[in-house]
Amino acid sequence: MRWLLARLISDDDRRAIEADLAELYEMRRREIGDAAAAKWMRAQRRQAIWHVIREQFGSVNPRSTMPYIGRDIRYSLRSLVRVPTLALTIILTVGVGLGATAAMATVVRAVIINPLPYADANKLFWIYTDAKPFRFRFSVVDYRALERDHPTFSGIAAYLWK
């Protein structure tokens, strides 16, 4: 907290505040003991910092700003009604942005985060023919032969990609 005081007030003022607090601390320490005086000192430093902040920046009461939020929203809506093209552009841009974000989050969740809906998904294989010059699709006969001749596979499935 001392660094905040050092940034907000001059060195002379800070030294005067620290000297006053040190003198009051010694008086308190003699009257109420070390632990209670240390607690009092921390509270006094916090109060001094808030006092300096209020002097520098003025006090902002959150209750006093709440009534203006409704006024600001009404003003924004009136401004958007005056320029319908801009309003439509803003609404579409925000809508497309939110839609794209939701779609990407869904894709990431389905592809990366959630596991595949198969038991032992890390043991899945993709079998295809891609060796030149023998590029061809598996036929039903090839599929049945693969299923029959390789009993080590617990299951075989096929799909057609067009």
Question: What is the pLDDT at residue 119?
Answer: 77
**Among the listed ranges 13-22, 78-87, 123-132, which one has the minimum average pLDDT value?**
123-132
- Cβ(5)–Cβ(47) below 8 Å: no
Average confidence score pLDDT of the chain = 79
Determine the pLDDT at residue 99: 97
Q: How far is CA 160 from CA 50, 66, 90, 140, in A?
A: 71, 61, 43, 11
For 85-142, the pLDDT digits (tens) are 999 999 999 999 999 999 999 999 888 888 777 777 777 877 766 666 666 667 778 7
Look at the alpha carbons of 37, 39, 52, 7 in this order and tell me if their dihedral is positive or negative. positive
Helical segments of the chain, H only: 2-8, 11-32, 34-57, 62-82, 84-108, 140-149
Contact 58, 13 (CB under 8 A): no
Give the pLDDT score at 134: 60
The angle, 0 to 180 degrees and rounded to 10, between the axes of the packed helices 34-57 and 11-32 is 150
What is the distance between the alpha carbons of residues 37 and 59, in angstroms, rounded to a whole number?
A: 29
Confidence at residue 62, expressed as pLDDT on a 0 to 100 scale: 58
Instruction: Read off the pLDDT of each residue in 133-162 and give the average, rounded to a whole number.
Output: 75
CA–CA dist 116, 108 (Å, integer)? 13
Instruction: Assess whether pLDDT exceeds 60 at residue 1.
Output: no
Q: What are the structural domain ranges in the chain?
A: 2-59, 63-113
pLDDT computed for residue 60 by the predictor: 59
- Side chain identity at residue 62, one-letter code: P
- As a whole number of angstroms, the distance between CA 113 and CA 109 comes to 5
Residue 103 structure tokens: 């779609």
Q: Is residue 36 very low, low, confident or very high in pLDDT (cuts 50, 70, 90)?
A: confident
